Amino acid sequence: MQSVHLVLLMAMAMATATMATTTTLTSLTSLTSCSYYVLFLLCAPCTLVHANTVWPMPAMLDLSLTPIQPLSHQLANTLLSSTVSVSPSFQFYTEGPTNEYVQAAARRALKIITHTQSSRHTHVLKRASEGELASCSVRIQDASTELTQQTSEQYTLDVDAQTLSCSIVGETYVGAVHALESFVQLVDTYTMTISATSIKDKPRYAFRALLVDTSRHFYPVETLLTNLDAMAMTKMNIMHWHIVDSNSFPYVSSTFPEMSKQGAWAPHHVYSHEDVATVIEYAKARGIRVMVEFDTPGHVDAGYAAIPGILTQCYDKTTGQPDGTTGPLDPTNESTYDFLEKLYTEIKAVFPDKYVHVGGDEVPFGCWESNPSIAKWMAAHPNVTDAAKLEQYYELRLLDILKRLGFSYMCWQEIFDNGVQILPDTIVNVWKGGSDDTALKKELQAVTGAGYRAVLSAPWYLDYISYGEDWKKYYLVEPDNLCDNCELFGVEACMWSEYVDATNFISRSWPRTGTLAERAWSPKNVKDVDAASPRLNELRCKMILRGIRAEPIHPSFCLTEWPGDAEAETVRASIRRAGLDMRAESYR
């Protein structure tokens, strides 16, 4: 085995960042006087990881004297071939308005470069060429730290090989965060070079989500943060947090503490308000919104059972007696709505996003239909003629509460299908019909035809694993082909957790979720699965360099393989610490 030469031990000067114009954010400071840093690899059969690609593929390449044109990957491979050496004292600096998230992101970006660079195992040194990139300016047009559905994610990134200059411009901090991620991905940390490039980038869809289910299994906060790292790498912008379900209720409600006490898998497998705040702030610093889901009136059991009277008692039809089980929330009980108002008032305070996901899927009608007091109530309400109408009644009451509380909402498609009157800015989550294109087309046309925004989940149920390179299947779904004469608002991958917990959530989700991320971000013409294959492999190797346990997509290797659990955790912690704002307690 080759001995390990770690010649370029770099330390990061954690410059105390201020908000002033032209602030040095971070710098690569060589601890040695070594000026040799172009590195060769003694690698025999290796297909080397090439860094001159970004996942997801950027939208546009702005060539100086030609019009802006869509970037295809073939073009990218040609145009990005000119490389610039990155100086050992490379630094990011801000120009104009800035904010704490931009500064934290720049510190993390530099940390990633220094870390991954020093984690090389095998190399020899050559003298660097003359020209070096000494710095990159980071400018944002709007220094607001607000993050909403409307926040612009556009950015430009220019690395000029002739002038040895680099500039990043984001409309908002989120654009700058994305640009810094692209910058880091463009750096080949084995040779410490960056591809000369000119990127003008923005997402194809404004809504690019991953559903995370913490009810079927409990995930520690650490696991959620690592997943956010991977989402940020792939420019996804929504963590759809399916926080509770029938199986367990890990959310600690201050209003109804009995819900998690009785409904969590175990007393210590819960999310406190502080845990939730950590996740939200960590996500926000990376341009990711956390949209929480409290799924009702079905998918309730654990937790809700602690609140007297709100669950429907199911009856045995033969004996006419309670069968000992409970079903959905009881929509005929006024205390149900008192409960919901209090719960959502708390949710509004704990989860700052404008949007909440109200669930509404798979309501089992049988239990409602079996219950004599519900039958009696329905007899007194002649408009409520069947269970579907009863569900409609429930949703109307719930959505009225949400409207009063100032929420916008997302819902599973059943609420729309069932004809409930929903707010105009509602997002309808189309999840049924997996590979049934006809059904999907019909649903999407109906949803968008009625003026609502549609988010498509059905093709990306990533928990349905299968043998082989199943990522190709997910990559090849073209949303436009499922939306005739209609426009999708976004796409969402789902990692339901029946068979997933902290042991396998990250490896099973990544890099597979990257397929959806590129479909959601990149232009429609970025769809060549053969071209995507080495790029996706490279993405997963970059994830490993950052301590994210992404699994292989085919027989291959990463020059730096999974480094062992403890080392990976150290790497992640080190990158996170780099992003910590000196004035803030929480992760950035």
Residues of this chain that interact with its own copies (CB under 8 A) are 1-2, 4, 42-46, 121-122, 216-218, 220, 222, 247-248, 252, 261-270, 272, 302, 463-469, 497-504, 507-508, 544, 549-557, 559, 561-562, 564-566, 568-570
Torsion (CA) 210, 211, 212, 215 in degrees, nearest 10: 180
CB 499, min distance to its own copies, A: 6
Smaller CB distance to its own copies: residue 417 or 551? 551
Smaller CB distance to its own copies: residue 115 or 549? 549
Q: Are 242 and 211 in contact (CB under 8 A)?
A: yes
d(CA 298, CA 280): 26
Smaller CB distance to its own copies: residue 173 or 505? 505
CB 534, min distance to its own copies, A: 15
d(CA 367, CA 345): 28
CA torsion sign, 278 to 279 to 280 to 282? positive
Tokens matching residue 181: 């991620």
Smaller CB distance to its own copies: residue 341 or 551? 551
Smaller CB distance to its own copies: residue 270 or 300? 270
DSSP class of 461: B
What is the identity of the amino acid at 485?
A: N
Tokens matching residue 154: 């556009």
* 170 conformational bin, left if phi > 0, alpha if psi -120 to 50, beta if neither: beta
* 513 conformational bin, left if phi > 0, alpha if psi -120 to 50, beta if neither: alpha
CB 503, min distance to its own copies, A: 5
Smaller CB distance to its own copies: residue 48 or 582? 48
Cβ-count burial 527-552 (b if 16+ within 10 Å, e if not):
beeebbbbbbbbbbbbbbbbbbbbbb
d(CA 67, CA 367): 63
* 477 conformational bin, left if phi > 0, alpha if psi -120 to 50, beta if neither: beta
**By C-alpha distance, which of 93, 202, 194, 76 is closest to 137?**
93
Q: Where are the beta strands (DSSP E) in 76-213?
A: 83-95, 124-127, 132-140, 155-160, 165-170, 187-188, 193-195, 197-201, 207-213
Task: Give the count of beta carbons closer than 10 Å to the beta carbon of residue 470.
Answer: 15
Smaller CB distance to its own copies: residue 187 or 553? 553
Q: What angle do helix axes 100-118 and 273-285 make, rounded to 10 degrees?
A: 80
CB 533, min distance to its own copies, A: 13
d(CA 155, CA 161): 20
CB 339, min distance to its own copies, A: 19
Catalytic residue among 222, 274, 362, 478: 362
d(CA 212, CA 463): 11
Is 362 among the residues known to form the active site? yes
CB 154, min distance to its own copies, A: 34
Decide the pairing of beta strands 132-140 and 165-170: parallel
d(CA 302, CA 243): 12
Smaller CB distance to its own copies: residue 384 or 539? 539
Smaller CB distance to its own copies: residue 50 or 73? 50
CB 82, min distance to its own copies, A: 27
CB 193, min distance to its own copies, A: 20
CB 19, min distance to its own copies, A: 35
Beta bridge partners, 315, equal: 322
The two most distant CA atoms of the chain are separated, in Å, by: 89
The set of catalytic residues is 362
